[in-house]
Amino acid sequence: MNSSFNKLLTFKTMINILMIIVLSTNFLLIEGVYALSDSKQLVLDAWTLVNEGFYDPDKFDEIQWKRIRQKTLQKQIETSEEAYSAIEDMLRPLEDPYTRILRPKDYELLKSSNFGSEINGVGLQLGEDEDSKKVIVVSTLGGSPAEESGIVSGEFIEKVDGIPTNVLGLANTASKLRGESGTKVLVEITSKLGEIREVDLERRSVDLRPVRTKRLRDDSHTIGYLRITQFSESVPKKVEEALQELREKEVEGLILDLRNNSGGLVSSGIAVADSLLSKRPVVETKDRNGIKDAITSQEDTSFDGPMVTLVNKGTASASEILAGSLQDNDRSILMGEQTYGKGLIQSLKSLGEDSGIAITVASYLTPNGNNIQGQGITPDKLLDLVDTSEYGSSDDKWVRNAELFLESLLEKEEVSIEDNEFKSEETINVVAKD
């Protein structure tokens, strides 16, 4: 009896000890979860946002994404800057330069460029070259220090203030080029022919002027010229106002200039398509679940006359969506060069301490199902002409080519109308004789 009692007592004691161990372990785990510092919480928040939104979840298994989180949170991360660096290291295996941490200064500047009309910097729009993975110039902003110094689309940024861009990465290269007006930055550039040069650029406030317009006239026709330099939040409304102004001037055709438009807000590009397409497919997006979502334009348009759209290798992202929709719907002839080829869409999310994170959440296809990423759009008519330094000027041969093409279309329309009127008169005469 005593033996059985002792065994029972021993068993109860062991159970109690095990319960204490389990409860203590759980308590420690709970403490570990809730005892994250603000800096580590920033890292965890970034990981969670990417985990929930990144367009290619198969990549997570390939790079052991959960293990990366665990290893990152084990690091000593005590300051915001250490958190930002840790997030950069954490995102690097995704091999997507567009999914990136945005420090407070970069986050504020990016929001300013999307919603405002000015930005401080040198006026370079950058991307990552598909083949070499180098930082490449997508386009330069009109009237910017970069444009004035002769930097052109397709050149590579090798160093910024002596630091190689392959060390900095795309996001940090862009960050180092921004700064207060009046400060300078030294940039080493490689041309398409491999020539290396250094350019000393002075940062300043660049007036983005996203929408510019004017009327082109000759002896017989009036043509409107509309240039969009980027797709910020205000652009759709400005385009509506510009088209209204051109209609009042009784333009017969339109030249839409998207050269060196590196994109911006995709929603703005789609809204501009609404002004030019009536109940037609604009773009098809494909999310992480493979679900395709086709976006169709509204019924009412702001201009339905003949069009020519100018594109070049600096035409990217949202401007490629617009150009592709106009081409696939036979709404506009595309003239110029092969476009850049950025077919990925980013979502901008806020993090703590005024920082943010950009996450690639979807890819997009043109209405005919063409994938733009890494390929771009081929114009209907290629132009082998030197690009002007001032778009839309009297020396702009690209605009002159578009103008001549539009005039030929308008003359054909006039001949067609005259033929129809002549046939109608013949019919009337025949009926009268009968």
CATH number at residue 17: 3.30.750.44
Other C-beta atoms closer than 10 Å to the C-beta of 33 total 9
Tokens of 299: 């019924």
pLDDT in tens, 374-420: 899 999 999 988 777 678 888 899 999 999 999 998 888 766 555 55
Other C-beta atoms closer than 10 Å to the C-beta of 73 total 17
Q: Do residues 129 and 215 both lie within one domain?
A: no
Within 13 Å of residue 326, how many CA atoms lie on the same side as its CB?
A: 36
Q: Do residues 43 and 177 both lie within one domain?
A: no
Q: Which of 299, 301, 319, 300 is nearest to 309 (CA)?
A: 319
152 versus 142: which is more confidently predicted? 152
Q: Do residues 216 and 198 both lie within one domain?
A: no
Strongest mean pLDDT among 179-183, 228-232, 256-260 = 256-260
Residue 110 placed within a domain? no
Q: Residue 264 has what pLDDT?
A: 85
Residue 352 reports pLDDT greater than 70: yes
Q: Do residues 11 and 153 both lie within one domain?
A: no
Q: Do residues 223 and 358 both lie within one domain?
A: yes
- Which ranges of 64-197 would DSSP assign to H, the alpha helix? 65-73, 80-91, 104-115, 145-148, 165-177
Return the exposure string of 411-426: e unless at least 16 CB atoms fall within 10 Å of the residue's CB, then b. eeeeeeeeeeeeeeee
Q: Residue 25 has what pLDDT?
A: 40
Q: Do residues 353 and 301 both lie within one domain?
A: yes
Give the amino acid at 335. Answer: M
Q: Residue 42 has what pLDDT?
A: 95
Question: Kind of pairing, strands 333-336 and 381-382?
Answer: parallel
Q: Do residues 384 and 300 both lie within one domain?
A: yes
Q: Do residues 235 and 192 both lie within one domain?
A: no
Task: Report, as an integer, the average pLDDT of 294-310.
Answer: 94
Residue 387 placed within a domain? yes
pLDDT band at 434 (very low <50, low <70, confident <90, very high): low
pLDDT in tens, 150-160: 998 889 999 99
Residue 202 reports pLDDT greater than 60: yes
Q: How many domains does the chain have?
A: 3
Structural domain for 68, as ranges: 2-100
158 sits in which H/E element: strand 156-160
Q: Do residues 390 and 331 both lie within one domain?
A: yes
| Phi–psi pair at 102, nearest 5 degrees | -120, 110
Domain end: 187, 207, 227, which one? 207
| Phi–psi pair at 82, nearest 5 degrees | -65, -35
Give the amino acid at 348. Answer: L
Tokens of 8: 């029972």
Q: Do residues 295 and 352 both lie within one domain?
A: yes
Q: Which residues is 205 bridged to in the sheet?
A: 120
Q: Residue 424 has what pLDDT?
A: 54
Task: Report, as an integer, the average pLDDT of 295-318.
Answer: 93
Q: Do residues 299 and 183 both lie within one domain?
A: no
Range from 79-93, 157-171, 268-282 carrying the lowest mean pLDDT: 157-171
Rounded to whole angstroms, the Cα distance separating 263 from 318 reads: 4
Residue 184 reports pLDDT greater than 60: yes
Annotated catalytic residues are 317, 328, 342
Q: Which of 344, 357, 338 is nearest to 317 (CA)?
A: 344
CATH number assigned to the domain comprising residue 333: 3.90.226.10
| Phi–psi pair at 153, nearest 5 degrees | -60, 140
Rounded to whole angstroms, the Cα distance separating 434 from 427 reads: 11
Q: Do residues 242 and 309 both lie within one domain?
A: yes
